[in-house]
Structure 1
């Protein structure tokens, strides 16, 4: 058995165990540890979950379902039927038809940008990723699966449509699933922000399996933190402002100076420090992200603020 097939079988074994009675917190911790071991493990787990979801839709398998209409318990599935479903769905590296022949392992890669960096990545499936400052992504693109992990920072995605093959972005505890669209994802600690430019995006919490997914469309923004999700609907202007970084700009709409300074600090080694006396001053307009010195001079000219520079630190106060 190849290493890839062994991983697929292990993922399936975990999935069956999880739905058995008696699944404990220790079992979940063991599963989480296995998922963290490698990107291949996580990709196999997602494929297995997708396969079982498809199997759950099968309804005409005889009277062994005991009248159950959905949410089958795997623990009492007859082995022969379970095996047949696995074969039909192509799980575990076996198949009954040529179109389900086991595909080579997905191509894996890692990309990052430094402070103020910007990078465009072309993927094997024809999709593109545009990385913002201080960002890290890992990709696993194969013939039957497409997964990207945003480990930190921000990225803009232009996803090429492939029928029946979702493109999945993993950002912390959130998964963003699309078929073909344009959107951005940003990670700030446990906060994840998704802006949709075109198409439709599904945002799930991978740690809360029973919660409903959030579906957002063009012009929508989803902001998640912990178990909560806030959706700002139909605000194309907000989305456009959030993506101004693609042109090297930052756009603000009367944001507090403390927030504006924090955003500038993402793009520059020269860091702005705002005294509490000036933190709440509202700032509006569009500014060049990399020109922090010009922004500081503008604060002095427009608001009469005091600007003190010490090396790579600029202190702003009234």
Structure 2
């Protein structure tokens, strides 16, 4: 029997926690709360779903003209539900507005430093998240397409003058619609400016940021640098890695198309088995482990479905002459017994 005091759903506790986190992440001190916020989201899909519901309800409430609503014509049995929904949206809008305006916040300059780009704040921001193993496609209000990889969180914050997004963690592909407003994506210490282009950004370990351009052109620069700092222009096929060093590392254009991870397929070319396992585990609830670390140096080539770790483990075992063992909730690849 579950103890009620430990039940996260008792008395709408999960709903209240999601509301509190929504308020904190709307404020200027959001960065100081981010580690705890991401740990809260990582507790499970229900937490991410609760947070998205609060964000969507708040966004819907902002679009309602409360002073010019038409006369209510409730259908029997639905009046109470409609009334409660309206009150809920109004309460969240009012609560967030009070916390944002009335409670003092410390200033925090996290914008990209450029003479033509100014950071703007739009209270209608929405966040999209995926669970382990999920790849999700979202159509944004400007016509752009956002493809979100496994275990990823993206904040979308559009205003009348700028389209701003933030990759909180994970990986995403951005297919940008043509229009006048700049399209900027922040990830860690990096900002990417693009118009009418397709590119990937990965930010999976809290430090390294990888940018890969598929089509068009993007400018990449460090956030928080000196005003007027020079940006790096990428050409199709090029990639850029920020790993905490003084200068980013540029990879040459690729002769072949970028991997098709949005379809769940990834091509490996003489990749160490340890790298393949690391990518596979990003999608896996049941993790895969090598019994002998020296197996990690085995080279792997081929196109595999990365979002099905169970099937990929079987394929790798057959391809490399390994055996599969299962113990303590994990899949173990080991050398075949002679």
Normalising by structure 1, we get a TM-score of 0.66
Q: 1:284 to 1:139 in 2, by over 3 A?
A: same
Counterparts of 2:240 and 2:289, CA distance in 1: 29
Any idea what the Cα deviations from partners look like across 1:183-242, whole Å, max 9, x if unmatched? 1111122111111111111111114327532110211111111133111122142x522x
Counterparts of 1:234 and 1:273, CA distance in 2: 33
* Aligned residue number for residue 123 of structure 1: 140
Counterparts of 1:130 and 1:260, CA distance in 2: 22
- Higher percent of residues as strand: 1
Counterparts of 1:160 and 1:42, CA distance in 2: 32
Any conservation in 1 of the 2:274–2:297 contact (CA below 8 Å)?
yes
Q: How many residues end up aligned between the 2 structures?
A: 234
Within-5 A mapping of 1:70-149: 105=122, 107-149=124-166
Q: 2:271 aligns with which of 255, 271, 276?
A: 255
Within-5 A mapping of 1:89-238: 105=122, 107-163=124-180, 165-189=181-205, 190-209=207-226, 212-227=230-245, 228-237=247-256
Query: SS in structure 1 opposite 2:253?
Result: coil
Q: Note the C-alpha offset of 1:175.
A: 0.5
Q: 1:198 to 1:106 in 2, by over 3 A?
A: farther
Comparing 274-283 and 33-42, the one that deviates more: 33-42
Regions of 4+ moved over 6 Å: 37-45
* Aligned residue number for residue 6 of structure 1: none
Counterparts of 2:108 and 2:125, CA distance in 1: 11
* Aligned residue number for residue 68 of structure 2: none
Counterparts of 1:315 and 1:305, CA distance in 2: 10
Comparing 125-134 and 286-295, the one that deviates more: 286-295
Using CA pairs under 8 Å that are at least 6 residues apart, name the structure with larger relative contact order, 1 or 2.
2
Any conservation in 1 of the 2:121–2:157 contact (CA below 8 Å)?
no
For the pair 1:297 / 2:314, whether they are aligned, the reply is: yes
Any conservation in 2 of the 1:106–1:142 contact (CA below 8 Å)?
no
Any conservation in 2 of the 1:166–1:178 contact (CA below 8 Å)?
yes
Counterparts of 1:181 and 1:311, CA distance in 2: 45
Structure 2, unaligned stretches of length 5 or more?
Answer: 1-27, 35-99, 101-105
Counterparts of 2:249 and 2:140, CA distance in 1: 31
Q: Note the C-alpha offset of 1:37.
A: 7.2
Structure 1, unaligned stretches of length 5 or more?
Answer: 1-32, 56-90, 92-102
Counterparts of 1:42 and 1:130, CA distance in 2: 32
Any conservation in 2 of the 1:187–1:193 contact (CA below 8 Å)?
yes
Q: 1:240 aligns with which of 245, 249, 258?
A: 258
Alpha-carbon RMSD: 3.0
* Aligned residue number for residue 285 of structure 2: 269
Normalising by structure 2, we get a TM-score of 0.62
Q: 2:296 aligns with which of 275, 279, 283?
A: 279
Any conservation in 2 of the 1:152–1:187 contact (CA below 8 Å)?
yes
Any conservation in 2 of the 1:220–1:236 contact (CA below 8 Å)?
no
